[in-house]
Amino acid sequence: MYPYLRTIKVFLTAKRKGDHKLTDVSIMKMTVMPGDIDVFMELNNGRFLTLMDFGRFDVAIRSGFLTQVRDKKWGLTVAGASVRFRHRLRLFQKFELHSQVIGHDEKWIYFHQKIVRKGKIHASALIRTGVTSSKGIVKVEEVIRTLNFSSPVPPLPMGKGMGGSRRAAP
């Protein structure tokens, strides 16, 4: 089941946290809850991705990006994910979710996200996101120009994307 109450909490908490540049690292403190675990009593691999959604929400809300996107009647989408699971997280363990916009190419904005407990990375991901309109994917150049970012997203370094000959390395 989708964690609707947690989603509401993320939105309300993000609004109170204060300003955040789009490219700053967002750190959220979280706990593995009963609805997050699988039959092996550990954080479910699908739930890792859902929790990472919350990190991207936090960045988008605190930077003002989400408000600007909604004002334009645009939307946000995830178009790809490269995830590495390294260590298990058990019920009621506390951890941090780190989320950061690391760059863009012509069509996509890339996030690097990691789940950390006691200094140890338990999972990391490179997430390819996009801005959508009724006409399809909005090119990043138009997004940057239209939304007038206070902290522009840097171009993605070569060799870091998710398509063609490029390989993700979260």
- CATH classification of the domain holding 125: 3.10.129.10
Domain assignment present for residue 16? The answer is yes
Candidates 120, 103, 121, 19; CA nearest to 112 is 103
Q: Which H or E run includes 117?
A: strand 109-117
Domain assignment present for residue 157? The answer is no
Residue ranges making up the domain that contains 8: 4-147
Residue range 89-147, pLDDT digits in tens: 999 999 999 999 999 999 999 999 999 999 999 999 999 999 999 999 999 999 988 87
Q: Is residue 170 predicted with pLDDT exceeding 80?
A: no
pLDDT, position 158:
66
Domain assignment present for residue 68? The answer is yes
Q: Identity (one letter) of the amino acid at 152?
A: P
Q: What is the pTM of this model?
A: 0.88
The answer to whether residues 110 and 166 touch, using CB atoms and an 8 Å cutoff, is: no
Q: How many domains does the chain have?
A: 1
The answer to whether residues 47 and 54 touch, using CB atoms and an 8 Å cutoff, is: no
Tokens of 34: 């009963």
Residue range 28-40, pLDDT digits in tens: 999 999 999 999 9
Tokens of 129: 């996101």
Q: Is residue 169 predicted with pLDDT exceeding 50?
A: no
Interatomic CA distance for residues 154 and 170, integer angstroms: 17
Tokens of 23: 């490219």
